[in-house]
Amino acid sequence: MTEKPDDKKYCRECGELIKQNSKFCPECGVAISEPNSTSRGTESGGSRSGTSNNTISQPTDPPSQGMSPSSASNNPEVNPTDVSTEPTTSDSWHYAVGLGLALWLGALILAGNAPAQLDFLVGLMGLVAWVLPPIAIYFDSQHLEYYTNWDPSAILWGIGSVIPLLNLIVMPVYLFRRHNVVN
């Protein structure tokens, strides 16, 4: 794949092969500048007005020290699959799973014993305990897939954490497995 079609160019950020007339990279979302409007073309003696040049010039200068290795400009030798991107998720999502478990237990205990004035609060606790754990498990599993050798199925663990009473088993098991993998 050393040659590219004339109607294609490479993204300067991720190296993805994109259409010549694209304004944004579909892979990373970076804005693609027009070859005639770049300062590189005017510095090398090219004119900004006049004829249009459809070829994309490869940069000859090395990237500056502040640039990341993934931004090797328009380099056809850069394989986009070689560039690994870290997930943007935090490593603290497992605390939200534990909080969801605690909220479920609290809502179950208070559901039959709470005075009528606290019914709204108990209902809100149950709703948060029903929504929070699947979201937390999804983001935590993304983090675990990248940083550990455990590849938890976010969909299955998430479904298990949504089903009432089953989630009281699934969430502690998830946290236990996570603890064993991380430590």
The tens digit of pLDDT for each residue in 59-111 reads 444 444 444 444 444 555 555 555 556 666 678 899 999 999 999 999 999 98
Alpha helices for 18-118 (secondary structure H): 39-43, 93-113
Token pair 């991107």 is found at 85
Compute the distance between CA of residue 2 and CA of residue 182 in angstroms, rounded to an integer.
42
Q: Are residues 68 and 7 in the same domain?
A: yes
Compute the distance between CA of residue 93 and CA of residue 165 in angstroms, rounded to an integer.
21
Task: Categorize the per-residue pLDDT at 135 as very low, low, confident or very high, splitting at 50, 70 and 90.
Answer: very high
Q: Which of 40, 61, 83 lies at the terminal end of a domain, its last residue?
A: 83
pLDDT at 78: 53
Q: Which amino acid, residue 139? A: F
pLDDT at 50: 45
Residue 178 lies in a domain: yes
Dihedral angle over CA of 136, 139, 145, 151, nearest 10: 40
Token pair 């997930």 is found at 87
pLDDT at 81: 56
pLDDT at 63: 47
Q: Which of 83, 115, 145 lies at the terminal end of a domain, its last residue?
A: 83
Domain containing 11 equals: 1-83
- Higher-pLDDT residue of 12, 143: 143
- Higher-pLDDT residue of 146, 82: 146
Average pLDDT of every residue of the chain: 75
Going from the C-alpha of 41 to that of each of 23, 54, 117, the distances in angstroms are 18, 12, 72
Residue 118 lies in a domain: yes
Residue 4 lies in a domain: yes
Nearest to 161 by CA among 141, 131, 128: 131
pLDDT digits (tens, 9 = 90+) for 36-52: 444 444 444 444 444 44
Is the per-residue pLDDT at 167 higher than 60?
A: yes
Domain total for the chain?
2
Q: Is 125 exposed, middle or buried (0-12, 13-18, 19+ CB in 10 A)?
A: buried
